[in-house]
Homo-oligomer: A and B are copies of this chain.
Amino acid sequence: MRMSELSAESGVPIATIKYYLREGLLHQGEQTSATRAAYDGTHLRRLRLIRALLEVGRLPVSSIKKVVEAVEDESLPVHEMLGTAHYALSPAVEREPTAEWDEALAEVDSLLAGFGWEVEPEAPARHELAHTLVRMRRLGHTPDLAPYAAAAGRLVEEVEIGKVPFDGPRDAAVEALVLGTVLYGRAFDALRRLAQESASARRLSGR
């Protein structure tokens, strides 16, 4: 299809498509004449991925570029490609060089080990969790995260991991990962609040 058709089909304005081509986020089409190129399903898929990274992941163009590079580097195993996107989506947490941080990280690691989870030491979520623990402790709470880890693990194993199309096109796998991580995370949080309201209403109604 021509660029005008790619734009109509994807809903992305022509000027934006040209910008993505210049930035290297979108691969060039097949040149059919001096002034014309043909685009196909792979371009549509890439535009969907860029939109997901931009609108859902709220990533800056520089991070989107890194994710796209991982998608295009076919020598990179799927797990590492997905990891690049996954880490880019996580908020960066600065580790503080204090004893309470060391303790929190040790607690996170022992929790992960207890569940048999294999996670890279530099995983942003590992530091995010340690940071949350530090904040809880400073407020005088000693949280028990095991039931939360159990619930998260069950959700991932029983529902989520089956939904990532590992064997399809690399763009589609990353897009599914972005939507799954960010939007389903938000949906879960809203559902948890609704369940809390309902449970509280039931517990306390009539008092």
Q: Is the CB of A161 within 8 A of B200?
A: yes
Q: Which A residues, 28 to 68, have Cβ-Cβ distances below 8 Å to chain B?
A: 48, 51-52, 55-56
Q: Is the CB of A129 within 8 A of B200?
A: no
Q: Is A12 an interface residue when CB atoms closer than 8 A count as contact? A: no
Q: Is the CB of A125 within 8 A of B161?
A: no
CB contact between A151 and one of B136, B181, B188, B205 (< 8 Å): that residue: B188
Q: Is the interface of A mostly helix, strand, loop or mixed?
A: helix
Q: Is A102 an interface residue when CB atoms closer than 8 A count as contact? A: no
Q: Knowing A123-B194, A195-B152 touch, does A184 contact B83 (C-beta < 8 A)? A: no
**Residue among A55, A79, A191, A199 with max Cβ neighbours from chain B (10 Å):** A191
Q: Is the CB of B125 within 8 A of A194?
A: yes
Report which A residues bind B (CB closer than 8 A): 48, 51-52, 55-56, 77-79, 82-83, 86, 90, 112, 115, 117-120, 123-126, 128-129, 132-133, 135-136, 139-141, 143, 145, 147-149, 151-161, 164, 166, 179-181, 183-205, 207
